[in-house]
Amino acid sequence: MNDPIIWIILFPLFGSIAVALSGAWLRKACHPLAVASMLGSTWAAVETLIQAIASPSHEVSYLLGGWSLQLFPRGVGIEFRADLLGALIALVVTGVGLIVALYSRLPVERDTPGREPVYYALFLLQLCGLSGIALTGDAFNLYVLIEVAALTGYGLIAMGSNRAAAATFNYLILGTIGASFYLLGVGYLYLKTGTLNMIGIREAIEAEGASPSVSTQVAFVLVLLGVMIKMAFFPFHAWLPKAYVHSPTTTSCLLAPLVTKVMIYVMIRMVLTVFGVEFSFEYATWTEFMPWLTVIAIVAAAGMALAQREIKRMLAYLIVAEVGYMTGGIWICNYYGLIGSIFHVVSDACMTLCLFLGAGIILEKCKTTRFDGLRGLFIKMPLTMTGFFIGGFSIIGLPPTCGFFSKWYLITGGMVSQRWEYVITLMLSTMVMVVLFFRLIERMHLAVDESGRNLGDGHGDLGLSKDRKRFDEAPPSMLIPLLIAASVVLLVGIYNQDLVDQIERMLQPFNLPTGVHYR
Amino acid sequence: MIGMFEEGSIFTQLFVERLNYFIYVVLLMIGLWAMIAKNNLIKKLIGMSVFQTAIILFYVSIAVKEGATIPIYLPEHDPHGSHQPVGAEGSLEIADQSLPMQPPAPSAYTNPLPHVLMLTAIVVGVATLGLALSLCLRIYRAYGTIEEDELLAKLEEVDARTGSSMRSGRRRRAFAKKPKEGRAR
Amino acid sequence: MSEQAIIEDARPLFALLIPWVGMIGVVWAGEKRANWRELATFSAASAQAAVVLSMVPLILNGAIVEFHVWQIFSYVPLLLRVDGPGLLFACTASILWIATTLYSIGYMRGLHEHAQTRFYAFFALSLSATMGVAFSANLLTIYFFYEMLSVSTFPLVTHMQDKEARSGGRTYLGYLLFTSLCLLLPALSWCYVWLDGGRLTMDFIEDVGKIGHFGETTQIILLFLFTFGFAKAGLMPFHSWLPAAMVAPTPVSALLHAVAVVKVGVFCLYRVYADVFGSEVLSKMSGEEWTMVIASATILISSLIALSQDNLKRRLAFSTIGQLGYVVLGAAIATDRGQAGAVLHVAMHACGKITLFFCAGAIFVATGKKYVSELRGLGRRMPLTMGAFLIGSLSVIGLPPLGGFVSKWYLALGALDRDALWVVIVLLISSLLNVFYLLPVAVTAFFRNSETEEHASFDEAPWACVVPLVVTALGCIGLFFCSDLLLQMVGLLP
């Protein structure tokens, strides 16, 4: 256990095998096994992060198959390398995985009765793929892990209703296009640089100097295009709402916080480690129009979120808008934007988790997540709703939730780069989020029906207080994970400075343009 | 047309020097088009396979070297001399003294790595295809069609019944009916 | 200011946390143990007032109390600091909270309101946020508590949970969050990012006037973003949330929408004018008179609107908007006496206006009447209430020997210091308008006989409603006589 970095991946990998095997005769063992593997994986991720912080170079490296760097040049073996960024994302992935695993017992039993072993095996493989993406230092290996995550994701979604299967098909087609574009891009990189190791690629690109070759530029565009399709960036978002709305509860709880965010991480990784800041941020055409694209993405997604009348669908469009935030944070091309983006990856994972866990509970209790079925929820499930709306406030960006702080850095970045269109869009979309969530609060809080008639005694009393079963809280196995997630949202907000310190430390080697002397 | 086959002309670049790449782009576009524009789900999958195969062609092409052979040591390059013909007496003794060892000459071999990468990509492709086909099967069983427009119409109906449609009532009906009528006449 | 002794003390934090403890007590007790619940609120209010008052001697001795809670960003702390104006505001809010608690017991029980637990819980939360604003030491801290207040009052505003509450709540939150997120937040980020290379904490003592390092245009833009961003101050055109918030139960209107919330708005503006821009920078700025013009316009227009309102609470709401304009005006005058008047007016108007709201609520509890025109002959039926109403009215109008006179006096003096005679004229006209819209209420009640009414017997609201309003009415008189003490506490006058 000297190399916790590899155990981050091995725990869920072996766990999935164990789950699949044990499920054959002891179905009850699946859920504990899944939780245990995620516990192990989270422990390993924490351990890795600690090691990475402690080590002088701030990274932990592991060469698969013993192709050690002492004996062979870089790029011969596949390298797993956790710098602070990777370790942080791995921790987010495993942490979210752990919370969802805790949460999953009841919903999985209901959604996929009798197929728990398969479900949990896929679940763990998915986490294996996602945490692998965060850790790998090899561009092609990244492709494979993206596909591992994608294939298991298709499986997890399609295990829902027939409707889900139809939605998965869309996702599969778009996902494959995205991954293939990425693969093509990697091909061009390999063609040009002769290596697949990320650091090796960057060294070769930097050696090209001021005038990068056409191949590198083609590779850049292809890779980023692929990643953008996978992350549901606005024009390519169509797969996401359908897939998340119809998938089983646990699946959406796992995929919604992680998949898009991990792909944002891939984009950041491509910019920082693979292509290098000099190349990426000097690519004038790209950096000129990307913020505008994100503006369009945010506006469109926020507008579509406004049009929804169902919680999960609304949340799905919110994710698309948030993807716009983070992408914009990268392509406003400065230090604060990147801090904001990385921070927002973390905080968005936490708050989306919170919201989807809450939505899952609502679905479980009310049998619907449509807006018209939400009346009186504050009285029925005060704790669940508190957790849910802590996530909601974080999306709006109210202090002291983590969403405020990440948005703060994004706005700062926009101001420093003087991309006013981006800053203004952030403000406006914040207002949209206010409308979205306070509309929900209204629905749950007020005793007014669709057509605006007063209900209850006309004096605001729903009559629920006379009902003996007014408290109808979610079962603890679902409620506690939600509350954990909500407190994480608050804690990340309160201890944001520690997180930002680490993010600043991880960005130090890259010599990012800062614009102003900030400290 | 003069100079069409001259060094550096577009034509030469496309069809002579980079024919592989030209073909891969054409295949890629065919595949992409089929994935996006075809109505039949299976045809979409065929497009997907073409698409992935195009990428494989690309990768294999970048490994090609003129006059090179497969990446197994030629006898004269082999540092271990294991390609040395076995002695007439059938003795198995290693004859590294008899032949001077050559430094390996990379130019003589094709690059094995892209091929290996493509093995993985093929595996991924097969898995994706298998999953996609099983999805098609399930869709067919559930909805009785693998034509996308019919499927969408059916899904809209289902959504309307369960009340989880993305569109408002009136527009939903208009959307659902159109393709059907078109098909009937 | 530099010779002030700084005392590290956790008392400001306690003042913030006590309402949270009270809230936990309230939720624990719930509807079933209503007496315990009220006891919890009551003890929280008393404890908070005790903690706040215990800091008065320190401040009077010229010290300031500081407590560092947490580091928001690496260079911006969440710093609580108690200085004169802050403490005066905190005292006002926390003492009036005690009165309001007693009053709401009478009011809520008298009307058999539903969901009283939620009511008391969020009430406590809003008071915590109010204390936070009063004790904030830098811009970001004040912003945090400002937002907390917006959100935590929403359930109170929509307490009735009906259609009116919905539209009221929408207006309320729409205005407050739109201004704070789209005007205030950019202004904040702007200061924190650009000012002096982005190293400032925007501390209210250390960084006064640093905003003058910006160019002229930027300064003016920032001034306006701040002025309208703190929409709780009710400056026109962002005032409509206040009348909308009157759908709330009267105790909420009384404490929050006459004292805590609106005063938080003007207090924030006072901080911005006095402790972010500073009077030097402000007096040098060319476009700065516009804030005074806006404030004056708000005073006059809202008084005129108040004249036309028949709903008593709405009339009081527009009166509040006008009175808030006084405070903003005083802060924007940027002279010592003007700012002293502004800070004093926070306390004076609070005491007067809460009396008026208490009376409006008591009338509603006792008779179910909401409109001014229905009040005929009520003076005989509810002499205590209407007597208090008269005193409150006179205080708001600004007649001696009532508190409202002192603050208006200083406002006028401050304006004269600046040779802004027109401000004095505005004050005079507005006082006249105050007479026109407030006095008729009491006059109607006392001197007009009701036509249809059953013979007016003595029939007051429950004692729990009446006692607080009598106390606050007496407070209006008391404040006049201890205004020297208040001025000394504020530290703006020798």
pLDDT at residue A148, rounded to an integer: 92
| CA distances from residue A508 to A84, A191, C141, C364, C406 in whole angstroms, order as listed | 11, 30, 29, 65, 58
Test B164 with A313 for CB contact under 8 angstroms: yes
Chain B positions touching A169 (Cβ under 8 A) are 41, 132, 135-136, 139
Rounded mean pLDDT of A440-456?
Answer: 71
For residues B123-135, average pLDDT: 92
For chain B, say whether A421 makes contact (Cβ under 8 Å): no
Q: Does the pLDDT of residue B131 top 80, yes or no?
A: yes
Average pLDDT (A470-474) is 74
Backbone angles phi, psi at C274, to 5 degrees: -85, -35
The phi, psi pair for C479, rounded to 5°, reads: -60, -30
Separation CA C200–CA A311 (nearest Å): 41
Segment A199-233, tens digit of pLDDT? 888 888 888 776 778 888 888 899 999 999 998 88
Reported as a pLDDT band with limits 50, 70 and 90, residue A344 is: very high
C interface with A, Cβ–Cβ < 8 A, is 31, 70-75, 114-115, 143-144, 147-148, 151, 154-155, 158-163, 165-166, 169-170, 173, 177-178, 181-182, 185-186, 189-190, 192-194, 197-199
Are A167 and A243 in contact, with CB atoms under 8 Å apart? yes
Q: How far apart, in Å, are the Cα atoms of A435 and each of A25, A211, A303, A439, C170?
A: 50, 48, 11, 6, 9
Cβ–Cβ below 8 Å for A151 and B155:
no
**Interchain CB contact of A163 with B (< 8 Å):** yes
Q: Which of residues 445-474 of A touch C (CB under 8 A)?
A: 445-448, 452-454, 456, 458-462, 465
Q: Whose CA is closest to A199, among A146, A139, A141, A145?
A: A139
Q: Give burial (CB, 10 Å; 0-12/13-18/19+) of C449.
A: exposed
- The span from the CA of C105 to the CA of C126, in Å, is 18
Looking at the complex, report in whole angstroms how far the Cα of residue C163 sits from the nearest Cα belonging to chain A. 6
Does any CB of chain C come closer than 8 Å to the CB of residue A398?
A: yes
Helix H, strand E, coil C: the string for A52-65 is HHHCCCCEEEEEHH
**Residue A93 to residue A111: CA distance in whole angstroms:** 23
Whole-number pLDDT of residue B172: 42
Nearest CA in chain A to B123: A144
pLDDT band at B129 (very low <50, low <70, confident <90, very high): very high
What is the predicted pLDDT for the residue at B82?
A: 54
CB contact under 8 A, C193 and A412: yes
Residue C490 CA, distance from chain mean position: 17
Q: Point out the residue among C114, C162, C199 whose CB comes nearest to the CB of A454.
A: C162
DSSP-derived 3-state class of residue C247 = helix
Q: How many CB pairs under 8 A join A and C?
A: 109
pLDDT per residue over C131-172, tens digit each? Answer: 899 888 888 889 989 988 888 888 888 887 777 788 888 888
Please answer yes or no on whether C199 and A518 come within 8 Å at the CB atom: yes
pLDDT tens per residue across span A279-326? 887 776 788 888 888 999 999 999 999 888 888 889 999 999 999 999
Contact by Cβ (8 Å): A438, A445: no
> What DSSP letter does each residue of A311-361 carry, written as one string?
HHHHHHHHHHHHHHHHHHHHHT-SHHHHHHHHHHHHHHHHHHHHHHHHHHH
Q: Which uninterrupted H or E stretch holds C222? A: helix C216-229
User: Residues C248-258, buried b or exposed e (16+ Cβ, 10 A)?
Assistant: bbbbbbbbbbb
Peptide bond into A400 cis (omega under 30): yes
Q: What is the pLDDT of residue A147?
A: 92
Chain A residues with CB under 8 Å of C114 CB are: 459-461, 465
Chain A residues near residue C163 by CB distance under 8 angstroms? 448, 452-454
Is residue B119 within 8 angstroms of chain A, CB to CB?
no
Q: What is the pLDDT of residue C374?
A: 77
**DSSP secondary structure string for all residues of C431-478:** HHHHHHHHHHHHHHHHHS--SSPPP----PPPHHHHHHHHHHHHHHHH
Q: Does the pLDDT at position A159 exceed 50?
A: yes
Q: Do chains C and B touch (3 or more CB pairs under 8 A)?
A: no
Beta-carbon separation of C114 and A431 below 8 A:
no
Q: What percent of chain A has pLDDT over 70?
A: 93
> Residue A516's pLDDT is what?
46
Query: Mean pLDDT in chain A?
Result: 85
User: Does B35 lie at the interface with A, CB-CB under 8 angstroms?
Assistant: yes
Over chain C (494 residues), the average pLDDT of each successive run of 10 is 71 88 86 82 89 85 82 81 86 86 81 79 88 88 89 85 81 88 85 75 78 80 86 84 83 80 87 82 77 87 86 85 86 81 85 86 80 76 82 84 84 83 86 86 76 61 79 84 80 60
- For residue A140, list chain B residues with Cβ-Cβ distance below 8 A: 117, 120
Q: Does A184 touch chain B (CB under 8 A)?
A: yes
List residues bridging with B109 in a β-sheet. B69
**Subunit contact C181:A428, Cβ cutoff 8 A:** no
ipTM score: 0.86
**Predicted pLDDT of residue A452:** 62
pLDDT bucket at B183, cuts 50 / 70 / 90: very low
Q: Is the pLDDT of residue A489 over 80?
A: yes
Which pLDDT score is estimated for B166? 46
CA C270 – CA C295 distance, rounded (Å): 13
Q: What is the pLDDT at residue C89?
A: 87
Report residue C136: phi and psi, to 5°. -70, 145
Residues 311-350 (A) with a CB less than 8 A from some CB of B:
313
User: Using CA of residue A353, residue A356, residue A359, residue A360, what is the dihedral sign?
Assistant: negative
pTM for this one? 0.88
Residue A311's closest chain B neighbor by CA? B164
Question: Which among A140, A180, A313 is the nearest to B55, CB-wise?
Answer: A180
- List pLDDT tens digits, range A89-99: 999 999 999 99
List CB contacts (< 8 A) between B35 and chain A. Answer: 173, 176-177
All residues at 6 or more sequence positions from C97 whose CB lies less than 8 Å from its CB, including other chains: C45, C48, C49, C127, C255
Looking at residue C438, its pLDDT comes to 84
Contact C151 A398 (CB under 8 A): yes
